[in-house]
């Protein structure tokens, strides 16, 4: 309602600005000046007839006024207002046009270019539309703004750190993990998480700082799986594959039932030992028996054929996260790192619409060192 009132006042002001000059008469124009000089001549005649001025003064005055009259008559626009009635009609016509045409034109312009059918919407609602409440970017902005006001709120860093990791903002994840340690103190999980963030920020290399964090986590809890896995990866990167296999085999031996990381660790063992993981999905008993009668070349060809069929299947059904994990492990075991890296990218694109599956495959990709 206030908006429409403001529009009405603005329209009234515009109309007033148009009509104000039309309401003023042109008394100072050239035509009125001629009339003044004629009145002066008549006045001179009257004064002379009653003896107020002498003949010479009257003649001199007539000459001067006549000269001015002639000059005014020859000036441009001197006869512009020859018909006062016609001038008044023109002013009134212009006023009517201003009164009707200005609002009508503004309304027509708004109907053509505006959106009168849209309902009113407050600023807060428009901001929510521009940044949907559920979007990751909006959530991050809200939490970051909250942490600027409350820098000691550990819960905020707990929320942001894994999100930063998933978005690839590893330096921000490192800062969040460090802040958590400073606020909540040391624990195996927090040290392992810091080491993971440091490794990711170093493009998958277990740096000395990351290794120190993993060692501290293992000291705090010898069964902390993440730290054990990355300590094995650190040994592999240092060239000590025997130590890496020993660390990972110990994890497999002590793994609880249904451990979600068991296949990843077995694939890592296969990578450093050159042997297929014991529990990795593979051919059935008949295929195994047939494979034992094959030459090494034929056996490799058979395995590659199976891997190729799995890859073709995943091109048709990209939502099978277990299938993607088997394909990545198979490529790693076969030594096809380039194919494994390409398949990792395909897997992330295929699973992008399912956050849970995407997180699972990203964990496997990181653990295999296939980030690209």
The yes-or-no verdict on residue 146 having pLDDT over 60 is: yes
Provide the token pair at 149.
Answer: 């006001």
The predicted pLDDT at position 271 comes to 87
Same domain, residue pair 302 and 342: yes
Same domain, residue pair 53 and 151: no
CATH number of the domain to which 214 belongs: 1.25.40.10
3-state SS, residue 315: helix
> Which pTM was predicted?
0.43
The predicted pLDDT at position 316 comes to 79
Question: Does residue 199 form part of some domain?
Answer: yes
Question: Does residue 207 form part of some domain?
Answer: yes
Provide the token pair at 224.
Answer: 């902390």
Structural domain for 347, as ranges: 285-368
Q: Which of 157-161, 282-286, 306-310 is predicted least confidently?
A: 282-286
CATH number of the domain to which 302 belongs: 1.25.40
The predicted pLDDT at position 32 comes to 59
The yes-or-no verdict on residue 179 having pLDDT over 50 is: yes
CA–CA dist 168, 171 (Å, integer): 9
Question: Does residue 122 form part of some domain?
Answer: no
Number of domains in the chain: 3
For the segment 90-105, the average pLDDT, to the nearest whole number, is: 68
Same domain, residue pair 207 and 302: no
Question: Does residue 222 form part of some domain?
Answer: yes
% of the chain at pLDDT higher than 70: 68
Same domain, residue pair 341 and 292: yes
The predicted pLDDT at position 235 comes to 92
Same domain, residue pair 141 and 219: yes
Question: Does residue 117 form part of some domain?
Answer: no
Same domain, residue pair 104 and 178: no
The yes-or-no verdict on residue 287 having pLDDT over 60 is: no
Q: Which of 64-68, 167-171, 179-183, 261-265 is predicted least confidently?
A: 64-68
The predicted pLDDT at position 219 comes to 94
Question: Does residue 116 form part of some domain?
Answer: no
Question: Does residue 258 form part of some domain?
Answer: no
Residue bearing the bigger pLDDT, 164 or 277:
164
Question: Does residue 164 form part of some domain?
Answer: yes
% of the chain at pLDDT higher than 90: 19
pLDDT band at 74 (very low <50, low <70, confident <90, very high): low
The predicted pLDDT at position 123 comes to 45
The yes-or-no verdict on residue 9 having pLDDT over 90 is: no
The yes-or-no verdict on residue 84 having pLDDT over 80 is: no
- Dihedral sign (CA 308, 309, 313, 318): negative
Same domain, residue pair 230 and 154: yes
The yes-or-no verdict on residue 83 having pLDDT over 60 is: no
Mean pLDDT of the chain: 77
Residue after which a domain boundary falls, among 193, 225, 247: 247
Q: Which segment, 14-18, 112-116, 263-267, is predicted with the most confidence on average?
A: 263-267
CA–CA dist 216, 305 (Å, integer): 44
* pLDDT tens for each residue of 194-249: 999 999 888 888 999 999 999 999 999 988 999 999 999 999 988 899 999 999 99
Same domain, residue pair 100 and 162: no
- The alpha-helical segments, DSSP class H, found in the chain are 2-22, 30-49, 55-74, 84-113, 123-130, 136-149, 154-167, 170-184, 188-201, 208-220, 225-237, 241-253, 262-273, 285-292, 296-316, 321-334, 337-350, 355-368
The predicted pLDDT at position 229 comes to 93
Beta-carbon contacts of 187 under 8 Å, excluding residues fewer than 6 positions away, are 220
CA–CA dist 314, 112 (Å, integer): 52
The yes-or-no verdict on residue 288 having pLDDT over 60 is: no
Same domain, residue pair 161 and 234: yes
Same domain, residue pair 234 and 291: no
Same domain, residue pair 11 and 102: yes
The predicted pLDDT at position 127 comes to 47
The yes-or-no verdict on residue 183 having pLDDT over 80 is: yes
CA 43 to chain centre: 84
Residue bearing the bigger pLDDT, 228 or 364:
228
Same domain, residue pair 148 and 226: yes
* pLDDT tens for each residue of 22-64: 555 544 444 556 677 677 778 878 777 777 777 777 787 778 8
For the segment 96-115, the average pLDDT, to the nearest whole number, is: 69
pLDDT band at 118 (very low <50, low <70, confident <90, very high): low
């Amino acid at each position: 309602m206030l908006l429409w009132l403001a529009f009405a006042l603005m329209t009234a002001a515009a109309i007033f600005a148009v009509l104000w000059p039309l309401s003023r008469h042109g008394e100072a124009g050239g035509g009125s000046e001629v009339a003044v000089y004629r009145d002066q001549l008549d006045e001179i005649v009257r004064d002379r007839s009653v003896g107020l001025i002498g003949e010479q003064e009257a003649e001199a005055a007539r000459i001067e006024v006549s000269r001015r009259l002639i000059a005014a008559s020859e000036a441009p626009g001197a006869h512009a207002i020859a018909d006062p009635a016609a001038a008044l009609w023109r002013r009134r016509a212009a006023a009517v046009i201003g009164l009707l045409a200005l609002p009508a034109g503004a309304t027509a312009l708004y109907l053509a270019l505006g959106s009168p059918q849209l309902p009113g919407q407050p600023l807060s609602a428009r901001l929510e539309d521009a940044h949907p409440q559920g979007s990751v970017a909006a959530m991050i902005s809200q939490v970051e703004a909250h942490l600027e006001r409350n820098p000691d709120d550990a819960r905020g860093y707990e929320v942001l750190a894994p999100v930063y990791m998933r978005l690839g903002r590893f330096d921000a994840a490192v800062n969040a993990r460090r802040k958590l340690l400073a606020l909540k103190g040391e624990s195996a999980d927090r040290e392992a998480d810091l080491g993971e963030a440091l490794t990711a920020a170093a493009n998958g290399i277990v740096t000395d700082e990351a290794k120190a964090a993993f060692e501290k986590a293992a000291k705090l809890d010898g069964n902390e799986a993440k730290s054990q896995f990355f300590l094995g990866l650190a040994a592999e990167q240092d060239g000590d594959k025997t130590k890496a296999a020993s660390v990972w085999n110990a994890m497999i031996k002590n793994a609880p039932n249904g451990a979600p990381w068991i296949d990843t660790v077995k694939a890592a063992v296969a990578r450093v030992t050159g042997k297929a993981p014991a529990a990795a999905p593979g051919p059935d008993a008949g295929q195994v028996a047939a494979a034992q009668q094959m030459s090494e070349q034929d056996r490799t060809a058979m395995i590659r054929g199976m891997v190729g069929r799995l890859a073709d299947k995943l091109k048709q059904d990209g939502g099978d996260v277990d299938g993607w994990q088997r394909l990545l492990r198979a490529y790693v075991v076969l030594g096809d790192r380039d194919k494994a890296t390409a398949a990792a990218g395909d897997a992330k694109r295929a699973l992008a619409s399912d956050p849970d599956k995407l997180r699972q495959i990203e964990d496997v990709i990181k653990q295999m060192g296939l980030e690209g």
